[in-house]
Structure 1
């Protein structure tokens, strides 16, 4: 089962948690199922979250589209680093 591990810096843990909860229906529609969210114990400025996904190819396509759109609107946007796991 593939997974997507995302890391994001300089955004409070509670903010990320709230965003992920608000976006849950969208993620489920896109076959992305949030399994865990953590705050890095050694660096409180880093949050990590893990999605179980059905297709790396489909999820990459979606994320690339969303990130491209965001960067067009704000070239300095703070976007998560995505790590795809097989």
Structure 2
């Protein structure tokens, strides 16, 4: 990625964010700042999922809930939701996250 973007981290982050928002069909409107920060941070990982756009509606909704929970200030809900999303959990393990 760094090679593709000539080392410009901001460009990588923005492209990842745009891709994830499009793939999950979310806008971020009405989200708290902490939720938007979570979206920005998790977008780097989510953008590496080859079939993210092909996930079914339930998987996309659940990962959206995970993103918002991560930015919500309590890890309990985030962890509970992560346990329910096998596909996302599997990808994170494959990436070594």
Same fold (TM over 0.5): no
- Which protein is richer in helix relative to its size? 2
- TM-score w.r.t. the length of structure 1 is 0.32
- Which protein is richer in strand relative to its size? 1
Q: Highest relative contact order (Cα 8 Å, sep 6+), 1 or 2? A: 1
